Amino acid sequence: MLLRTLSLAATLLFSGLPLAHEGHSHDHSHAQKELIVTEANIRTFLPAAKSTAAYFTIHNPTDKSVFLKKATIRGIGRVEIHEHVHKNGMMRMQRVESVELPANQQIAFQPGGFHLMAFEPEQKLKVGEKRKLTLYFDNGDRLYSFVEVVSLKDTFEKPRNSHHNHH
């Protein structure tokens, strides 16, 4: 009799489970896609130098283009977005107001292309330390990451990861 009562109770208990999940999808493959920063580094300031450069790759796995408008690095007084351009057979650097990050693509901020210029350090950058990087976008979003301080010598000895994600 006890076995029959437990069996009936179990049947009643578990028969309602499918209804408890009605209307609730268990397909979690639509996880929120967010911008991601990888390979972020900033070079130490050379003696007597007034500026240094920071590099990273930013991945935009979303279905919308966004524009990077501004960047800050903890302990750096001023950060500007720059690019190298070829004009009249000369290569020169210029400040840009924004950089488009197309949907489902990535942009490498690297020597000879887009990069961040850092000015007015509040204290000396030490190789190996990490500094907070904040990127500001035209839609009001902010992306937080870290840049690792590297020496100029290290940037030539350690090749950057050159794999590309194409969607």
Task: Give pLDDT tens digits for 72-119.
Answer: 999 999 999 999 988 888 888 999 999 999 999 999 999 999 999 999
Amino acid at 3: L
Most confident of 1-10, 126-135, 144-153, 158-167: 126-135
DSSP 46: P
Instruction: Answer yes or no: is 122 within a domain.
Output: yes
CATH of residue 109's domain is: 2.60.40.1890
**CA–CA dist 33, 129 (Å, integer):** 29
pLDDT tens digits for range 7-62 = 444 444 444 444 444 444 444 444 568 999 999 999 999 888 899 999 999 999 99
Q: Is the pLDDT of residue 167 over 80?
A: no
Q: Is the pLDDT of residue 154 over 90?
A: no
Instruction: Answer yes or no: is 9 within a domain.
Output: no
Instruction: Answer yes or no: is 160 within a domain.
Output: no
Beta strand 142-150 with 36-43 is parallel
Show Cβ contacts of residue 107 under 8 Å, excluding neighbours closer than 6 positions.
57, 58, 60, 99, 101, 114
- What is the domain count for the chain? 1
**CA–CA dist 99, 109 (Å, integer):** 10
